Chains A and B, each alone.
Chain A
Amino acid sequence: MRPVLEVSGLSTHFFTRAGVVKAVEDVSFALNAGEILGLVGESGSGKSMTGYSIMGLIDPPGKVVAGSIRLKGEELIGYDEARWQKIRGNRIAMIFQDPMMTLNPVLRIDTQMLEAVLAHHDVPREEALRRSREAMVKVGIPSPDERLLAYPHQFSGGMRQRVAIAIALLNKPDVIIADEPTTALDVTIQGQILFEMQKLCRESGTALIWITHDLSVIAGLADKVAVMYAGRIVETGTVDEVLDCSRHPYTRGLMCSVPACNPRGQPLKQIPGMTPSLLSLGAECAFRERCARATAQCDTMPAIGQDAHAVRCHHPLGAPT
């Protein structure tokens, strides 16, 4: 089966006064219909920028400098703004982190939903309204007719995020990019939304990229995982492979810093040091300074393999010695 979305060698750089920030560097992955990819990393690891790059939403001074993004075989890199507009919200949709901020506070929900339909489909208003109502029911918003006439501030955080998800679903996109959509919500709401997203993707065959720093969310939701560090994917594979048999020292470190994995009363196992500045990345492995296994070989950036469970490390854990 041909993947819905193929990203290969994607690099997004920001040309700032202080220098070139390599926010995304050589990122590759493929996604099949109905599949859920968890994109994991710390703040600043480039996971959101990967999402924006796929949406064509990188603003100057940022620029996608290399790589290819293919949506059902169609190459998106090099598209002008007008063609991107036809893709965005129609074939690739995005959901953002803070539901309090993503809906326009001064526009009614129906305005914000209708415009999303009408931007891509030449249908009468009633038809657009019908689709909006349908999408709201799908994400579990009760009495959609009434809710359509409300303003965002009349919704709770969880309900707003449902509205945002409903908007993303409106045009039945091939891919949805969810940028930490449950981080700002409390745990019970988070659980409901995760469950519904999973169900919707399975049913509609929409591929989902779930960007998060929360490993427990990934464990319950995703099929595949890609762990990002300093703009690069350092380990990728199925959920079980990556989370249970982590091979990259960074992934292992992340797993060990989850409080639930530590015995009570013991200090948490942290990864020593700090994430390197994206301005000063050299030729060496970015994780080198923080890695207990680093050797002289780590002066060069290791390549990531082509296997299903691939790792960007010269000395992966669990490697046959």
Chain B
Amino acid sequence: MTEYIIRRLLQSSLVLVAMSVLVFAGVYAIGNPIELLVNPMADDAERARVIANLGLDKPLWEQYLTFFKGALTGDLGKSFVFNVPAVGLILQKLPATIELALCAMVIAILFGIPLGLWAGLKPDSIAGKTIMAGSILGFSLPTFWVGLLLIMLFSVQLGWLPSNGRGDTVNVLGFEVSFLTADGLSHLFMPALNLALFKLSLIIRLTRAGTREALLQDYVKFARAKGLRASRVVGVHVLKNIMIPIVTVIGLEFGSVIAFAIVTESIFAWPGTGKLLIDSITSLDRPVIVAYLMIIVTLFIVINLVVDILYSVLDPRVRLGQGAGQGAH
């Protein structure tokens, strides 16, 4: 297990290096930040001074090496615009995004799994069909449109919920969080619901499909033949089997919820990293873009590792670190 985790971490660092090269080259290709950063009235000497100051006079490979050396010590460069470390800028915004993403996932899981189970157990009932129809809507309606509709309904028409910002926050372990204050919760509810909608539908469909498949398996019939109560057959025999694919998807989706909360954050003016990224792209603030992507990649790697470890907990046939071909199937 330890050996497995160490090997995974080594592989992950290779992924990080490859990713940093790609991102660096990609960002370099999308325009010259000098045009935005230097006062158009400035003379050539002033211009050259700024370029040299930002290190943009050097060739790309040299810029990358400087970045790489810095990255090894945890320094991903300074923001061109704010002139503060990019990592600090992102970490300052990250708690808001993570809070939003976590709330969205909690909503998706708490409602998705029971609804999916219900739809899977009673596929022909009215409730089951309604759940499935609803999940198709959740899948296909674009996030920004649903977000706008939520604002229209709850903020403009009914005036129940505020349409933007985080509201009052409380400091917990050094992080500002909204969900512990009534005002914060009222600010959090709509963006979290908006972000959760797609994942909710996904989990519903996945749970339903898994349930339908598991119900046909002999082990379910055998469990019933043992005289077990339906609640135990579903709650233990079925649920534990279908959790394996669901955990994978939840893990992967959690990463993407954090990385792509951009649309929701923009609509509800949620002061998270998504909004920071959009601002940085418009001002061609290269270090922030690169640092953001590096942090997101790291996040994905960590989440994937956690999912793999969870697998071995859920599925006894998976034994980490013994190579392939150990499974029963």
Contact = CB atoms under 8 A, between A and B. Distances in A.
Interface stretch (B12-20, B74-82, B232-240): B232-240
B219 A103 contact: yes
A55 B328 CA distance: 30
B213 interface: no
B323 interface: no
Contacts of B241: 104-106
Interface string A100-141: 011111111000000110011000000000000000000000
A85 B225 CA distance: 8
Contacts of B26: none
Given A104-B237, A104-B241, A115 B228 contact: yes
A114 B230 CA distance: 17
B240 A96 contact: no
A113 B60 CA distance: 66
Interface stretch (A87-95, A210-218, A255-263, A310-318): A87-95
Contacts of B223: 104
Nearest to B315: A106
Contact of B227 (A89, A96, A97): A89
A98 B328 CA distance: 15
Contact of B222 (A87, A102, A106, A120): A102
B49 interface: no
B70 to A, nearest CB: 46
A86 B316 contact: no
Contacts of A97: 218
A66 B218 CA distance: 26
A38 B163 CA distance: 72
A151 B241 CA distance: 14
Interface residues of A, number: 31
A88 B225 contact: yes
Most central of B217, B222, B227, B314 by chain A CB within 10 Å: B227
Contacts of B225: 55, 57, 88-89, 93-94, 96
Given A106-B316, A115-B232, A98 B218 contact: yes
B317 A88 contact: no
Interface of A: 55, 57, 81, 85-90, 93-94, 96-98, 101-108, 115-116, 119-120, 151-153, 164, 167
Interface of B: 217-219, 221-230, 232, 236-237, 240-241, 244, 314-317, 327-328
20 contacts: A55-B225, A88-B226, A89-B227, A96-B218, A102-B218, A102-B219, A104-B237, A104-B241, A105-B317, A106-B241, A106-B244, A106-B315, A108-B316, A115-B232, A116-B227, A116-B228, A119-B226, A119-B232, A153-B316, A164-B222
Which 7 A/B pairs are nearest by Cβ-Cβ distance? Answer: A89-B227, A153-B328, A89-B226, A101-B218, A88-B227, A151-B316, A102-B222
